[in-house]
Every structure is written in structure tokens, then in C-alpha cells.
């Protein structure tokens, strides 16, 4: 019970600190379904995600975690024969009211495999969001690069070689560079699809620490196959199974006293 109160308190604190508007929820989905052709990948998902919290999505492979995540920044637009139904509210506005570019400026994404732009330097990668779309930031590029690299805990490792190619970095460093690139455009929500599954334990730890520190500034949703990770980094956890949202609750509660039998079986390793 104490844990639950903790989360509540933290949330209220953050709201006060940031002076944000009254809205508690960063993302609300209502009956969200995604079909690829005739096949339903996720079915009638109802999810409310609070601002400045970390939510993890867990579930066996193929249950639709990535599909759910990618519908939140309209990434499905690229896939042919994809049908998205239901409603999604992002920061109190219906997703259809956004211009897709504006939406993606607000909802950043970090991918499973580190994917820095290979023909750009470290420096250029951080500001690539501006450079590629031709937008002008309010601060100087130098400031952005320094701030975001410090924020993503990469600055000390790369400050002497900012003009080196990004692909000369290690996998873990590349992933932190991708995080820096994402926060450079000041998103409010960050979606992470198995951001550490390709990384070694040490890099994983660094990124988990980042996620923890990020809570003050961003709302984070992270897909993970690692239940310890979910337990470590998130305030809330959603458990999905074959396209359904089975259970969604405070992480501590879901991992200690799950209400649904299926959840219990999954987190105790009976299947999956």
C-alpha cells in the first residue's frame, strides 16, 4: 500500500514542480485495435497513461507490444493494409487532430536496435531532428548537443570526438546517442521498444538509470522482455497476451499480487 501512495505522491510533486495543466494523462486509448490485413494484432486496448510516469509493456513475443507502441506515434502509416480503429488521445488532444510531424515532435521513439544515421557525425546525429526537417531550435546547436549528451550520460565519453562518425561508437553508446537525438527535439512522451535488448548489462544499467532520471521531464513507455527491468524502472506495468491487454496496474502490485491468473502464470515463468 505504501508503494502505491509513493507513486501518487511523486506524481503530484512532479505536477507542481512543472506547473503543468490539470490533465493527469499523457495518453488515453479507447478501444484501440490494429489490423494487419484481416489479422488483428491488438484488440480493443483501453489504456490510460499518467504524465511523468514510466509504464512498461510486457508479454510474450508476438502479443502486439510493438504494434501498440507504434500506433501511438502513427508509425503504422508506412505499413500497407494496416487498419487502426478506436481513439487515441495524446496530451488531451485526439491523435487525428495532430499534424503527423507535430505529433512525432511530441512523441519521440527509441528503437530496439541502435540506429544512428551512419553518414553523420556524433554531433550531427544529436541535432539531426532539426537538420533534417529544417527547423530552427531556440538554443544554439552547440548548447543542444552538450545538454542532450549530458542528459543521456554520453557527454564525458564523446566530448572530445564529436565530429567522429556515429557508427564508430559502441552499441551501448549508439543507443544513448539515439536517446540524445530523441530528447533533442523536446518531446513530452518517449516510446522505447526494447531499448536494451541488444545491449550488454552495463549499458543496460546506464539506460535504466537514464529512464529513472527522465521521469521528471518525460512520460515514458517502455516495451521489454525483461521482467526484472520492468520491475526496476517502471511505475506501471501493462501485461498483454495475443493482442489483449490482460492487466494494467502499478508495477509493484502487478508483480506481487496480480489479479488475473494469466498474469501470474506469465510472471512466474509458467509460459512465455
Partner 1 sequence: MKLDDIKFTDGNLQRRKILNRLMLSLCTIAAVLSVAPLLYVFFYTTFSGISALNIDFFTQLPKPVGETGGGMANSIIGTLILVTIGSLIGIPVGILSGIYVAEYSNNIFSNIIKFVTDVLSGIPSIIIGIFAYGVVVLTMGGFSALAGGFALGIIMIPTVTRTTEEMLKLVPVNLREASLALGVSRWKTSLKIVLKTASTGIITGILLSIARVAGETAPLLFTSFGNRFMSYSLTEPIDSMPVRIFNYAISPFEEWHKLAWAGAFILIFLIFILNLVVRFITRDKYSINN
Contacts to partner 1 by CB under 8 A: 73, 75, 78, 80, 101-105, 108-109, 111, 113, 115-121, 128-129, 132-134, 165, 167-168, 178, 181-182, 185
Query: Binding string to ligand ATP for residues 5 to 44, with x set by CB under 6 A, is what?
Result: -------------------------------x----x---
Cβ 232 to ligand ATP, closest distance in Å? Answer: 19
Region class of 36: left (phi > 0), else alpha (psi between -120 and 50), else beta:
beta
Could you say which of 27, 47, 54, 63 contacts ligand ATP (CB under 6 A)? 63
Cβ 265 to ligand ATP, closest distance in Å? Answer: 17
Q: Which residues have a Cβ under 8 Å from the Cβ of 90 and sit 6 or more positions away?
A: 26, 27, 72, 98, 103, 106, 107, 189
Could you say which of 66, 219, 229, 234 contacts Mg ion (CB under 5 A)? 66
Beta bridge partners of 39: 36
Q: Please name which of 213, 196, 60, 230 lies closest in space to residue 221, comparing C-alpha atoms.
A: 230
Q: Please name which of 175, 223, 183 lies closest in space to residue 199, comparing C-alpha atoms.
A: 175
Between 188 and 265, CB nearer to partner 1 = 188
Judged by CB under 5 A, does residue 224 bind Mg ion?
Answer: no
Give backbone dihedrals phi and psi of 174, rounded to 5 degrees, phi first: -60, -40
Cβ 270 to partner 1, closest distance in Å? Answer: 32
Considering only 21-29, 64-72, 99-107, 264-272, which stretch makes contact with Mg ion by CB under 5 A?
Answer: 64-72
Cβ 104 to partner 1, closest distance in Å? Answer: 4
Q: Which residue has the cell 527522465?
A: 214
Cβ 196 to Mg ion, closest distance in Å? Answer: 13
Query: Taking CB within 5 to 8 Å according to partner kind, which of ligand ATP, Mg ion, partner 1, none is near residue 178?
Result: partner 1
Judged by CB under 6 A, does residue 66 bind ligand ATP?
Answer: yes
Judged by CB under 5 A, does residue 56 bind Mg ion?
Answer: no
Give yes or no for a contact between 121 and 82, defined as CB atoms under 8 angstroms apart.
no
Cβ 213 to partner 1, closest distance in Å? Answer: 22
Interactions with ligand ATP, residue window 68-97 (CB under 6 A): 79
Long-range contacts of 151-159 (CB under 8 A, 24+ apart): 151/180, 151/183, 151/210, 152/176, 152/177, 152/179, 152/180, 152/183, 152/210, 153/206, 153/209, 153/210, 154/180, 158/122
Burial category of 5 from C-beta neighbours within 10 Å (exposed 0-12, middle 13-18, buried 19 and up): exposed
Amino acid at each position: 500500500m505504501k508503494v502505491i501512495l509513493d507513486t501518487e505522491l511523486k506524481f503530484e510533486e512532479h505536477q507542481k514542480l512543472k506547473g503543468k495543466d490539470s490533465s493527469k494523462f499523457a495518453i488515453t486509448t479507447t478501444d484501440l485495435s490494429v489490423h494487419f490485413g484481416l489479422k488483428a494484432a491488438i484488440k480493443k486496448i483501453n489504456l490510460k497513461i499518467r504524465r511523468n510516469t514510466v509504464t512498461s509493456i510486457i508479454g510474450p513475443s508476438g502479443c502486439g507490444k510493438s504494434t501498440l507502441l507504434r500506433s501511438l506515434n502513427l508509425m503504422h502509416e508506412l505499413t500497407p493494409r494496416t487498419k487502426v480503429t478506436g481513439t487515441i488521445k495524446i496530451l488531451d488532444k485526439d491523435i487525428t487532430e495532430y499534424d503527423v510531424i507535430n505529433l512525432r515532435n511530441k512523441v519521440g521513439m527509441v528503437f530496439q536496435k541502435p540506429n544512428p544515421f551512419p553518414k553523420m557525425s556524433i554531433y550531427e546525429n544529436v541535432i539531426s531532428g532539426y537538420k533534417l526537417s529544417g527547423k530552427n531550435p531556440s538554443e544554439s546547436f552547440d548548447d543542444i548537443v552538450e545538454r542532450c549528451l549530458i542528459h543521456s550520460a554520453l557527454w564525458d565519453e564523446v566530448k572530445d570526438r564529436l565530429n567522429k562518425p556515429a557508427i564508430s561508437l559502441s552499441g551501448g553508446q549508439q543507443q544513448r546517442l539515439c536517446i540524445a537525438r530523441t530528447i533533442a527535439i523536446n518531446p513530452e512522451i518517449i516510446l522505447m521498444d526494447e531499448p536494451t535488448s541488444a545491449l550488454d548489462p552495463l549499458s543496460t544499467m546506464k539506460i535504466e538509470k537514464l529512464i529513472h532520471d527522465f521521469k521528471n521531464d518525460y512520460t515514458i513507455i517502455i516495451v521489454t522482455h525483461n521482467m526484472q527491468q520492468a520491475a526496476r524502472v517502471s511505475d506501471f506495468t501493462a501485461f498483454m497476451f495475443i493482442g489483449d491487454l490482460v492487466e494494467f496496474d502499478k508495477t509493484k502490485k502487478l508483480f506481487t499480487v496480480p489479479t488475473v491468473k494469466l498474469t501470474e502464470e506469465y510472471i512466474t515463468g509458467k509460459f512465455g
